[in-house]
Structures are given as structure tokens and as C-alpha cells.
């Protein structure tokens, strides 16, 4: 989200402490097309006078059906302002410790245990304090050294061992294994208190949350020879730095590469986060010059009608008319086959898994509640239904797809390949 006051949060710019937004970036026009709509800043407040940007950058949407002028902030060339932390959490009642947003109470039990209080350093932290952005940012763990201190506090002296993890049954051995894993991973760690609190530290090797965010050297498997760092070839589809134009009428705007939490399996491990020992990142900074190039490309490309800003809004804009029943209307959308990215072959199942999963689920629940099971094709083929493969050889692990909607360059009639991880192939 772009706004008159900017924070780096969740891989995008988030509105906070502002009444600067008149509407969202993406809506449907009367003709049914997604278009930009009016986004404008209010008059500068006292707290904003020293921020390094001039009010707005305007351009006109190319979408048919509605000619909407869009405005964006314009930044000066010096450094971005630091995030402004909230002084209080809107919508929370300290005495109850759960959200007071209409409709959301159905998902909160005021008598449930405070799960983070099982972590020694947070045993006296209240619901209200723990659920603030300020607390989560302040106590995020971004380095190996800080993670080692945390693990030394929460791990028992002895932990359960598993096949393939022999010799990792003590606190010291586990910490050593994790440190070696981080040194070889393409993504640096960045762990919030929430994530650290929901991991079962009595059995960390088997914990599914730990597996997604904290690597272990002993679990790493050889990368497939067909695997690439930029597996989706987003660079090839970027006419300007930070804008991916793959589909004819749609583009993806990568506003920044800052996230509150770094996933091991990040598709953009080539860019997101700081450099690691194995990857020098192509970091996409939120500069005025780069954004201006993106805006100019959008303006001179009439076929673009839908611009997605990576990271979405982050904040939930609740309507006062929502009730708990409205949340039940949320529809399942995608189940993804993991991308072919470095360092996560221990997490990546073969294509047969997602195909068999869809076969078992389809027909057991209502059609409108059944998600699409998709694979985002390597080399820039876009999203395709996993079951729409042209060929799939389970012995070699090679599946092929065509993507008629992806055009331009050498993509006409191109055959895209997805490869199962080597460890899943029959011997």
C-alpha cells in the first residue's frame, strides 16, 4: 500500500497513523476491469513536515471503462524515514486481550492460554503488548547470534531424535546444526516473537513451523540440476527494475524487498533480505528514481489494466457492518506446488503429491469451496492447474506444460518444465 506516510512492513508500504487514503489501489470499474483509482494525500500534518517527499505523483489509468487519475507519494533522494511506531493498538481492550473489531471475536477465546508465555523471556508479557506491531518489531530476531541466545533459553537439554538426524539429540548439537544450516541457506533469518512462540521447542526437529523458517544443515538435500535462483525468470519479464510484466494486461510492482518474516522457501530469495554467504542479493530499494521508471512504463503501456503491489495492504480494513458470518464467506483460492528454489528440497514434494491431493479432495466438499491446485511454472510460464500438464513421467520427475496466454519474446508455443526433487524419484 502506498500512502503519504511510509513504513517498510510485510514487503510493501503500509498505511499507519494516516488518514491519507481515499481508496485502495485496485478496484473493478463499471466495465468489470481492474483499474487504478484515486489515491491522494491529505494536507501535511505537523508530524509529516520533515518527511523527505513531495505530496503526490499522478498518472492516468489505461484500463477501459473508467479513466481514473492515480496519485502516489514522491520521495526525495535521501534516506527513507524510519517506521513510526504506534503508541496504542486500535481495536484492542487491554482487560480482555483480544480484538474488538466487529465479527472477529468469533475467532478469539478470551480464556485461552497466552501461548507466548511459555517462552521464558515473554512469560510476563500481556495480550495487549504482545499483539502490537511495536512489540513484534522490537523483539524480532534477525541474526544467528541472537537466535543462538534464544535457542539456549527455550531448548531442553535433550530433544527427540529422528532418522537422518542422528547426533542432533542435545541442545548444543541442535544449535550447531541450525547455525550451519543458516550459513548455507539462500535466505537470512528474520523471526518474529509470534512465530518463535508457536514452535514446539520440546520437539523442534519435527515441528512444521520450525522447518519453514529455521534451516538445519542435516535436513538439506542436493538441489535439482535444473533449479535456478530466479526460478520464475522474473528478471526476463521486467521491462524496468521492480516491475514484472508477464501477463498481457497485468503487472506486478515490487515496491520493496523488506518483510517482517523471512521464509526459507521464498520465491524471491534472489532479492529479499540481506546478502548471505551463498547469495548476493539484487536488492530492490524503494527509491524515487526507480518508482518513477515503473510509473512511466505503466503510463506508456495502454494494455496494462491491473497492477498488483507486492505484499498487499497488510492492515485489515473492517467494515462496521461485518459480523462473524461474513468471515465464513472467505473462499479458498490456491494450493501451490512449491517453486523450484534453492535450499529447500527437503520441503518440496513431487508433482504427484499435489495431483493426488486434488483427486482426493475434489468432490468431498462443495465446488465453490474447492481451491485451485496450481504450479507456478519455472522460466516464467505463469500459474497453471497442476492437473493440466501435457506430460508427466513419474519415473524421471519431468512434467511439461504449455501456457498459451503467456506471449512475447520467445514464449510463443514454448514448453515449460517442472522437475520433481531428486530424492522423490524411484531408484
pLDDT value of residue 329: 65
Give dist(CA 372, CA 308) in Å, integer.
20
C-alpha distances out from residue 69 to 35, 40, 119, 138, 326, Å: 10, 10, 50, 38, 32
Say how far residue 7 (Cα) sits from the centre of its chain. Answer: 16
- Here the cell at position 136 is 513484534
pLDDT tens by residue, 206-219? 999 999 999 999 99
* Residue 201 or residue 18, greater confidence: 201
pLDDT at 401 over 60: yes
Burial class (CB in 10 A: 0-12, 13-18, 19+), 304: buried
List the end-to-end C-alpha distance of the chain, in Å, as a whole number: 49
DSSP-derived 3-state class of residue 120: helix
Nearest 5°: the CA angle 153, 155, 160 is: 175
- Contact of 374 with 351, CB cutoff 8 Å: no
Residue with the larger pLDDT of the pair 133 and 201:
201
Cβ-count burial of 190 within 10 angstroms (0-12 exposed, 13-18 middle, 19+ buried)?
buried
Q: Give 402's strand partners.
A: 415
Distant-in-sequence, close-in-space partners of 300: CB < 8 Å, separation ≥ 6: none
Find out whether 164 and 177 touch, Cβ atoms under 8 Å.
no
Report pLDDT for 361. 92
More confident residue, 308 or 93: 308
Strand order of the β-sheet with 398-402 is 391-393, 398-402, 415-419
- Pick the closest to residue 306 from 1, 56, 11, 32 (CA basis): 32
DSSP bridge pairs for 284: none
What's the mean pLDDT in 396-420? 88
Q: Could you report the per-residue pLDDT of 272-314, keeping only the tens digit for each?
A: 889 999 999 888 888 889 999 999 999 999 999 999 988 655 5
Q: Which tens digit of pLDDT belongs to each residue from 216-272?
A: 999 999 999 999 999 999 988 999 999 999 988 999 999 887 788 999 999 999 988
Average pLDDT of span 84-109: 41
Residue 337 bridge partners (DSSP): 375
Name the residue among 13, 265, 258, 261 with its Cα closest to residue 140: 261
Give mean pLDDT, residues 153-166.
95
How many other β-carbons are positioned within 10 Å of the β-carbon of residue 57?
Answer: 17
Mean pLDDT computed over 408-422: 87
Q: Which three cell numbers stand for residue 223?
A: 538441489
Q: Which of 267, 264, 224, 265 is nearest to 423 (CA)?
A: 224
pLDDT reported for residue 335: 94
Looking at residue 114, its pLDDT comes to: 87
Q: What is the pTM for the complete model shown? A: 0.72
- pLDDT value of position 309: 87
Say how far apart CA 330 and CA 279 lie, in whole Å: 38
Domain coordinates of the chain in residue numbers?
104-219, 331-424
Closest CA to 378 of 234, 220, 221: 234
Amino acid at each position: 500500500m502506498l500512502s503519504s506516510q511510509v513504513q517498510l512492513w510485510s514487503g510493501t508500504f503500509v498505511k499507519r497513523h494516516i488518514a491519507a487514503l481515499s481508496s485502495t489501489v485496485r478496484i473493478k470499474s463499471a466495465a468489470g476491469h481492474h483499474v487504478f483509482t484515486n489515491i491522494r494525500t491529505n494536507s501535511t500534518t505537523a508530524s509529516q513536515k520533515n518527511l523527505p517527499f513531495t505530496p503526490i505523483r499522478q498518472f492516468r489509468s489505461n484500463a477501459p471503462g473508467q479513466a481514473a487519475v492515480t496519485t502516489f507519494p514522491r520521495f526525495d533522494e535521501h534516506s527513507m524515514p524510519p517506521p513510526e511506531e504506534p503508541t496504542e493498538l486500535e481495536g484492542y481492550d487491554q482487560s480482555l486481550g483480544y480484538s474488538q473489531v466487529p465479527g472477529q471475536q468469533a475467532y478469539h477465546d478470551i480464556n485461552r492460554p497466552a501461548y507466548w508465555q511459555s517462552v521464558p523471556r515473554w512469560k510476563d508479557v500481556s495480550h495487549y503488548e504482545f499483539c502490537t506491531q511495536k512489540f513484534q518489531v522490537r523483539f524480532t530476531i534477525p541474526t544467528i547470534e541472537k537466535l543462538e541466545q534464544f535457542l539456549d533459553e527455550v531448548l531442553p537439554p535433550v530433544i527427540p531424535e529422528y532418522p537422518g538426524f542422528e547426533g542432533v539429540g542435545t541442545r548444543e548439537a541442535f544449535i550447531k546444526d541450525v547455525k550451519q544450516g543458516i550459513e548455507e541457506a539462500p535466505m537470512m533469518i528474520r523471526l518474529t516473537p509470534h512465530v518463535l512462540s508457536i514452535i514446539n521447542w520440546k520437539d523442534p526437529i519435527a515441528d512444521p513451523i520450525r522447518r519453514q523458517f529455521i534451516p538445519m544443515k542435516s535436513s538439506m538435500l542436493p538441489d535439482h540440476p535444473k533449479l535456478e535462483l530466479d526460478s520464475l525468470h522474473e528478471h526476463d519479464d521486467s521491462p524496468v527494475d521492480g516491475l514484472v510484466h508477464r501477463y498481457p494486461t497485468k503487472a506486478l510492482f515490487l515496491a520493496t524487498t523488506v518483510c517482517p518474516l523471512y521464509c526459507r522457501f521464498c520465491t524471491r530469495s534472489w532479492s529479499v533480505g540481506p546478502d548471505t554467504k551463498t547469495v548476493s542479493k539484487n536488492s530492490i530499494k524503494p527509491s524515487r528514481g526507480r518508482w518513477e521508471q515503473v510509473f512511466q512504463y505503466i503510463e506508456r503501456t495502454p494494455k496494462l489494466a491491473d497492477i498488483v503491489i507486492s505484499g498487499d495492504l497488510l492492515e485489515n480494513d473492517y467494515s462496521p457492518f461485518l459480523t462473524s458470518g461474513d468471515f465464513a464467506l472467505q473462499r479458498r483460492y490456491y494450493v501451490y506446488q512449491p517453486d523450484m528454489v534453492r535450499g529447500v528440497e527437503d520441503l518440496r514434494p513431487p508433482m504427484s503429491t499435489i495431483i493426488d491431493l486434488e483427486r482426493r479432495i475434489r468432490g468431498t466438499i462443495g465446488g465453490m469451496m474447492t481451491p485451485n491446485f496450481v504450479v507456478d511454472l519455472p522460466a516464467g510460464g505463469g500459474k497453471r492447474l497442476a492437473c493440466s500438464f501435457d506430460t508427466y513421467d513419474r519415473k524421471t520427475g519431468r512434467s511439461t506444460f504449455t501456457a498459451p496466454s503467456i506471449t512475447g519474446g520467445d514464449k510463443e508455443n514454448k514448453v515449460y518444465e517442472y522437475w520433481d526433487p531428486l530424492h522423490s524419484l524411484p531408484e
